[in-house]
């Protein structure tokens, strides 16, 4: 694969790989569509008369029954008229490209939708419990830490860091850090945002997106197994190994190790 300007990654199995961006084949059309939708909705958000705010995640979910917000909010570009929004889209682009390549179209969108809905449900639950009960329905409270592209960034970085734990990323284009530490870095950055904005529900939702993405990739959700099924299989494996160990000690059996040391691709667990 090619290299990316400003971003350097080392393949854990040797050599170099790109972190999406300007190399390694064409950019998936789905990613272009996602970025286009975010930019278009970001533009509409600058004009309150468009009513685009009704698609963002807010307290209107329980105040007015706007349940569609649980699904629509990740696709609304959330920001003021600032160049920072373009930087967020760039981060989304470089990580999203590798996540798409690793998961494929079907599981890419499954991860996006399931992680977003789970995060939204937890955020809404925390918001319902923590926000004042007397809020009038027309004064909906939003959750800026996890709105729009921000929850997608949390999902994509967590997925990439889980699948490529030993890769090295230049944080802020300067400091080399192993990808696995970006799981914690995301939470720390979100916590700082929470201290600034007092957005507890958004912080919980953002953290849930990171945690769910980690579990999805670790469980092999990008290939053939769901989280619950993987948990059951892990338990069955532990039971079989325990039984073999008892038989070995009791009868002197010799247990032949399997393919535990066989190298596998970073997106397969």
Angle formed by the axes of helices 149-163 and 182-197, to 10°? 160
Q: What pLDDT was estimated at residue 45?
A: 92
Average pLDDT, the chain: 80
Query: Which domains does the chain possess?
Result: 9-218 (1.20.1540.10), 227-269 (no CATH)
Structure-model confidence comparison of residues 70 and 138, the more confident one: 70
Give CA–CA dist 7/177, Å, rounded: 11
Please write the tens of the pLDDT for every residue from 236-263.
Answer: 676 787 777 777 777 665 656 555 555 5
Average pLDDT over residues 25-31: 84
pTM: 0.73
Q: Which of the four pLDDT bands, split at 50, 70 and 90, describes residue 220?
A: confident
CB of 126 closer than 8 Å to CB of 200: yes
Among the residue ranges 50-64, 85-99, 216-230, the one predicted with the least confidence is 216-230
Please write the tens of the pLDDT for every residue from 76-130.
Answer: 999 888 888 999 999 999 899 999 988 989 999 999 999 999 999 999 999 999 8
């Amino acid at each position: 694969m090619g290299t990316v300007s400003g971003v350097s990654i080392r393949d854990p199995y040797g050599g170099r790989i790109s972190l999406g961006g300007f190399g390694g084949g064409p950019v998936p059309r789905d990613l272009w569509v996602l970025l286009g939708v975010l930019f278009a909705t970001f533009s509409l958000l600058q004009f309150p008369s468009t009513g685009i705010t009704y698609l963002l995640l807010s307290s209107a979910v329980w105040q007015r029954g706007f349940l569609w917000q649980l699904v629509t909010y990740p696709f609304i570009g959330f920001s003021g008229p600032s160049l920072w929004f373009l930087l967020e889209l760039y981060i989304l682009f470089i990580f999203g490209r590798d996540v798409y390549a690793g998961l494929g179209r079907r599981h890419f969108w499954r991860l996006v939708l399931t992680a977003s809905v789970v995060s939204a449900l937890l955020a809404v639950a925390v918001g319902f419990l923590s926000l004042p009960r007397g809020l009038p329905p027309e004064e909906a409270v939003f959750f800026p830490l996890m709105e729009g592209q921000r929850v997608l960034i949390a999902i994509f970085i967590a997925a990439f860091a889980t699948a490529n734990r030993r890769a090295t990323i230049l944080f802020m284009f300067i400091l080399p850090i192993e990808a696995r530490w970006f799981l914690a870095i995301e939470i720390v950055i979100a916590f700082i945002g929470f201290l600034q904005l007092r957005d507890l529900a958004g912080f919980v939702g953002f953290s849930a997106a990171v945690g769910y993405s980690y579990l999805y990739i670790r469980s092999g959700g990008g290939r053939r197994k769901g989280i619950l099924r993987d948990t059951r299989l892990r338990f069955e494996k532990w039971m079989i190994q325990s039984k073999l160990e008892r038989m070995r000690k009791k009868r002197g059996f010799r247990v032949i190790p399997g393919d535990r040391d066989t190298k596998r691709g970073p997106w397969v667990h």
